[in-house]
Chains A and B, each alone.
Chain A
Amino acid sequence: MNNQILAAVSEYGTPALFGIVTIAAVGVPLPITLLLVVVGSMVSQGAVNLWWAIGAAGAGSILGDQAGYAIGRWGGPAAIARLSAVFGKHAGLEAMEAKAKAWGGPGIYITRWLLSPLGPWINLASGTARYPWHRFLLWDALGELTAAVVFISLGRFFSDRVTALGAVLGDLTWAIAALLAAIVLGYQLLAYVRRARAR
């Protein structure tokens, strides 16, 4: 699957990039970080125009995110359950919904680029939680453009080491996700201990 996607972008350039990032933003698990890094390398080789690449990646992702939000908001629980079943993820949407409400805009922004695997679920959760659409669009656009600029620039800078860079970024994403989980769990643990001492 990864080979076909990367080959499509290599052969067809920005139109393929636009289509792939849109599909990924709806929730299909595709290696978007690696893809953007590869596009950055193609930019440095003169095979793709920088502004077209940033535009296609940003616009495609925003479009896919909006579709996810719309499914969450107007599709109802049946559509969400079907989407979860199709993509094989039954991750607690209620928990995500609570996170979407608690984290708000910064949460949406961070899950566009730093914790991108959570992005599609935050889109659905923001829709079901009825997070205001104009705010969602603002944070979403900021986050997706940050993702496009950061990863394409990294690809341009390390243009001859893109697969190695993709692997480093993949590991870093998981390290950050695990660190955030550790912080949340540590906070919960501390709260339990304090409550036990107070008794």
Chain B
Amino acid sequence: MVRGRSLPSCGALTSYIESVGQTWRRVLAVGLAFVVAITFTLVFAFRAGRRARHMRGENEPIQEWMSVPFIAHSHHVPPSTLFQAIGVQPRQPRDRRSVRRIASDLHRPTPEVMAKLQRALDEAAHPPPRP
């Protein structure tokens, strides 16, 4: 009797099918993860590029951690203008207090001090016409 390649037994066939199934499931999972990674790369690269393009034209928003000299530097305004706007005598040689600390020292809400600073910046950028 001529014997060809022996057929796998029922158990071996089942485990073979299972292993093939597992491999393809793994390939599918890795493939999906690959697509997600590529998508993330493109999205973040696009966002970074768009932000970088707009960086020059946008004004730095005032934040509560910033000191008054820091805000003045970011907006190219003399610090004395901003200190005057919020009615604070700056400490010497350099007043490093954050807006939040200044607001706390003045017993005023932080958003109110930030709004005053913003108004002063707007006025410095667009001074009102002289009568």
Q: A residues within 8 Å of B by Cβ?
A: 2-7, 10-11, 13, 41-42, 44-45, 47, 158-165, 167-168, 171-172, 174-175, 178-179, 181-182, 185-186, 188-189, 192-193, 196
Interface of A is mostly: helix
Chain B residues near A172: list those with CB within 8 A: 44-45, 48
Pair A158/B55 contact, Cβ less than 8 Å: yes
A159 to B73, CA, bound (A): 8
Q: B residues within 8 Å of A by Cβ?
A: 23, 26-27, 30-31, 33-34, 37-38, 40-41, 44-45, 47-48, 51-52, 54-56, 58, 60-61, 63-67, 69-70, 73-76, 94, 96-98, 100-101
Interface of B is mostly: helix
The chain A residue sitting closest to B75, CB to CB, is: A160
Distance in Å from the Cβ of A128 to the closest Cβ of chain B? 25
Q: Which of B40, B51, B65, B96 contacts A47 (CB 8 A)?
A: B96
A145 to B92, CA, bound (A): 33
Pairs across A and B, CB under 8 Å, 23 listed: A3-B65, A6-B66, A7-B64, A7-B65, A10-B66, A10-B96, A10-B98, A11-B96, A47-B69, A47-B70, A161-B56, A161-B60, A163-B60, A163-B63, A164-B55, A168-B48, A171-B44, A172-B45, A175-B41, A178-B38, A189-B30, A193-B27, A196-B27
Distance in Å from the Cβ of B101 to the closest Cβ of chain A? 7
Chain A residues near B54: list those with CB within 8 A: 164
Indicate whether A182 sits within 8 Å of B38 (C-beta atoms), given known contacts A11-B67, A192-B30. Answer: yes
